[in-house]
């Protein structure tokens, strides 16, 4: 089978809700990443054969095909097609999978996998709640689905609490993990570790003054155990708080994937090779546990052991998710989310998959590691796993 290579991997710095990126239309936000990918790679924009965009809340400014609208807002010619996909939080990681599969099949040579989510301008849950508020329909789950699983709804918050209880993690365990995420993210930002992956944008401060936006707004360098402990849990006697869960975030990300022929024809230098692509599905109620069996399957298919993987990016949707993953895989905590994760950096839903890949690619290169693994929990009890080899 033909190989697929990552030749560029970029992201915006995360913007807090109503923060620095609040004035960016999501189509323009995503277009900025598309332009940066093409400019930085020095390829003819017309050579891009497809743009595959992940986005979760496809309504309002993110409706009517946000992927195509990103292309129309960018410097790419209108001859470049696009498609918008939704695999919940793993949407742009699945974009990477689809792009790599297109290249590996030999049907395309240069494909962009991207993601975008403006959680300020299109709040999380809008596609569900807005129709209900207007008296349209009964929601995304039919009575048959709810009766099959014995629930009244499917909730990631309930799933996070269930994982914490199942694996025996206390509130203190979760808060300690969250504090570590902020400390690692602050250290990475201060050291310039994110410079190669971040696309500088014009942002606005609280007073509306423009400036350069190059630092993830969610990082709390002054985070403390005492401050985290003072936060209320989402449910009485629970363990999940706003402090040990991912932050609402505005952002966009993208990865340019090329074939060997494209490397030669366009004089491109690969950053990494796609080694393994896996997606699995399981229990939709606990929902967020699926990265564990998905990782096991990916390693088995790749013929590798967890000890061979130099760095892991496991999305910090909620602290118990990566903690359970570490415990079940017997993985090395020192290799996990070495530059912090979504608890500190933010989780821009549909953009998070390619965002994490940008961080993983550049962290591997900076640290001289060979293999990296990325996985994330997704709504409906699904998980993607991507293994890459640094070149």
DSSP 254: E
Between CA 213 and CA 203 the distance in angstroms is: 5
Task: Give the CA distances from residue 49 to residues 96, 101, 262, 386, in Å, rounded to whole numbers and listed in that order.
Answer: 14, 13, 11, 22
Query: Does the annotation mark 182 as catalytic?
Result: no
Query: Does the annotation mark 55 as catalytic?
Result: no
Provide the CA 276 distance to its chain's centre, in angstroms. 18
Query: Does the annotation mark 249 as catalytic?
Result: no
Instruction: Tell me which of 158, 182, 347, 362 is the catalytic residue.
Output: 347
Q: Find the radius of gyration of the CA atoms of the chain.
A: 20
Instruction: Tell me which of 97, 182, 213, 377 is the catalytic residue.
Output: 377
Please count the other Cβ atoms lying within 10 Å of the Cβ belonging to residue 124.
15
Residue with tokens 């332009």: 35
Between CA 279 and CA 328 the distance in angstroms is: 18
Strands (E), the chain: 5-12, 50-54, 82-85, 110-118, 198-199, 201-204, 210-213, 250-258, 272-281, 311-314, 371-378, 382-390
Between CA 213 and CA 21 the distance in angstroms is: 8
Tokens describing residue 211: 């400036």
Instruction: Tell me which of 55, 89, 158, 339 is the catalytic residue.
Output: 89
Task: Give the CA distances from residue 167 to residues 66, 163, 381, in Å, rounded to whole numbers and listed in that order.
Answer: 39, 6, 17
Half-sphere exposure of 6 (CA within 13 A, CB side): 31
Between CA 13 and CA 351 the distance in angstroms is: 11
Q: Are 61 and 118 spatial neighbours (Cβ–Cβ below 8 Å)?
A: yes
Q: Which residues are the active-site residues?
A: 89, 347, 377
């Amino acid at each position: 089978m033909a190989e697929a290579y990552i030749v560029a991997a970029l992201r915006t710095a995360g913007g807090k809700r109503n923060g620095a990126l609040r004035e960016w239309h999501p189509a323009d936000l995503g277009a900025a990443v598309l332009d940066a990918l093409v400019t930085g790679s020095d390829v003819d924009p017309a050579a891009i054969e497809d743009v595959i965009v992940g986005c979760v809340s496809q309504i309002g400014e993110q409706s009517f095909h946000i992927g195509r609208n990103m292309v129309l807002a960018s410097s790419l010619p209108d001859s470049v097609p696009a498609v918008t996909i939704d695999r919940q939080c793993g949407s742009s990681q699945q974009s990477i999978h689809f792009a790599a599969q297109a290249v590996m099949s030999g049907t395309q040579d240069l494909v962009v996998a991207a993601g975008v989510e403006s959680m300020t301008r299109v709040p999380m849950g809008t596609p569900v709640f807005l129709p209900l508020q207007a008296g349209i329909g009964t929601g995304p789950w039919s009575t048959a689905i709810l009766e099959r699983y014995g629930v009244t709804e499917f909730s990631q918050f309930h799933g996070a609490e269930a994982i914490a209880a199942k694996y025996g993690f206390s509130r203190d365990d979760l808060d300690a993990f969250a504090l570590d995420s902020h400390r690692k993210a602050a250290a990475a930002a201060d050291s310039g570790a994110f410079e190669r992956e971040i696309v500088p944008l014009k942002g606005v401060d609280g007073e509306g003054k423009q400036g350069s936006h190059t630092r993830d707004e969610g990082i709390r360098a002054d985070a403390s155990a005492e401050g985290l402990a003072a936060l209320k849990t989402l449910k009485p006697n629970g363990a999940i708080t706003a402090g040990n869960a991912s932050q609402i975030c505005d952002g966009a990300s993208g990865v340019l994937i090329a074939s060997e022929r494209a490397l030669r024809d366009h004089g491109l230098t690969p950053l990494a090779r796609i080694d393994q692509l896996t997606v699995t599905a399981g229990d939709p109620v606990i929902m967020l546990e699926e990265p564990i069996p998905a990782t096991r399957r990916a390693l088995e298919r790749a013929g590798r052991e967890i000890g061979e993987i130099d760095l892991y990016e496991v999305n910090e949707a909620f602290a118990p998710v990566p903690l359970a993953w570490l415990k079940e895989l017997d993985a090395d905590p020192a290799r996990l989310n070495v530059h912090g994760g979504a608890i500190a950096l933010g989780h821009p839903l549909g953009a998070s998959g390619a965002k994490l890949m940008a961080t993983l690619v550049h962290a591997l290169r900076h640290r001289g590691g060979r293999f990296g693994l990325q996985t994330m929990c997704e709504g409906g009890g699904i998980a993607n796993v991507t293994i890459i080899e640094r070149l």
